[in-house]
């Protein structure tokens, strides 16, 4: 348990340094849903190649690290219907809200953005209710 929060803090630090580089060097906010979503819906304009490079790094480095540290698993549920529904909710919701855990949560709250705090309260609240409903009451995940 103690090791897990130290790893959480260290990994979080890496995430923050990544966001700091993207902000200070490229002048962009490191929000995963905005970077991925704007490439998907074609609104990324002249930032498209930069964003594809970001996504490439986000995929490649954990892939290489997972070979090095040994096999990993994301331990996602076996219920593919639940996964598909969750994916659609995450995709639609993050684009409607203009941000997710990285954009609203990490980048927004660290600049004391009211919208970042409001979004974070609602997605954590909804996430907690979702666990109560789908895990404890319905038992689908």
Partner 1 sequence: MRGLFAFIAGGLFGAGLLVSGMTDSRKVQGWLDIFGEWDPTLAFVMGGAMLPMAIAWRITRGRNPALGGLFPPKPDQRVGRNLVLGSILFGAGWGLAGLCPGPSVASLSYGGIGGIVFILSMVGGMWAAPMLRSRLDAA
49-to-42, 78, 100 alpha-carbon distances in Å: 12, 35, 21
Q: In the complex with partner 1, which residue's Cβ is closer, 41 or 45?
A: 41
**The token pair that represents 41 in the structure block:** 């819906």
Cβ nearer to partner 1, comparing 45 with 71: 71
Alpha-carbon span 54 to 51, nearest angstrom:
5
Instruction: Tell me, letter by letter, the H, E, C secondary structure of 69-116.
Output: HCCCCCCCCCCHHHHHHHHHHHHHHHHHHCCCHHHHHHHHHHCCCHHH
Nearer to partner 1, 45 or 57 (CB): 57
Task: Provide the minimum distance between the beta carbon of 91 and partner 1 in the complex, in angstroms, as a whole number.
Answer: 2
Q: Which of 136, 55, 51, 97 is nearest to 108 (CA)?
A: 97
CB of 45 to partner 1, least distance (A): 13
As measured in angstroms, the least distance from the Cβ of 138 to partner 1 is 10
CB of 58 to partner 1, least distance (A): 4
């Amino acid at each position: 348990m103690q090791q897990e929060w130290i790893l959480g803090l260290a990994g979080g630090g890496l995430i923050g340094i990544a966001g700091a580089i993207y902000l200070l060097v490229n002048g962009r906010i490191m929000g995963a849903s905005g970077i991925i979503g704007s490439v998907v819906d074609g609104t990324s304009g002249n930032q498209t190649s930069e964003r594809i490079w970001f996504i490439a790094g986000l995929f490649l480095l954990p892939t290489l690290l997972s070979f090095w540290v040994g096999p990993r698993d994301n331990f996602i549920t076996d219920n593919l219907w639940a996964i598909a529904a969750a994916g659609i909710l995450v995709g639609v919701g993050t684009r409607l809200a203009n941000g997710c855990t990285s954009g609203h949560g990490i980048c927004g709250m660290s600049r004391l953005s009211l919208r970042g705090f409001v979004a974070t309260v609602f997605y954590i609240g909804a996430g907690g209710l979702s666990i109560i409903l789908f895990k404890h009451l319905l038992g689908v995940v």
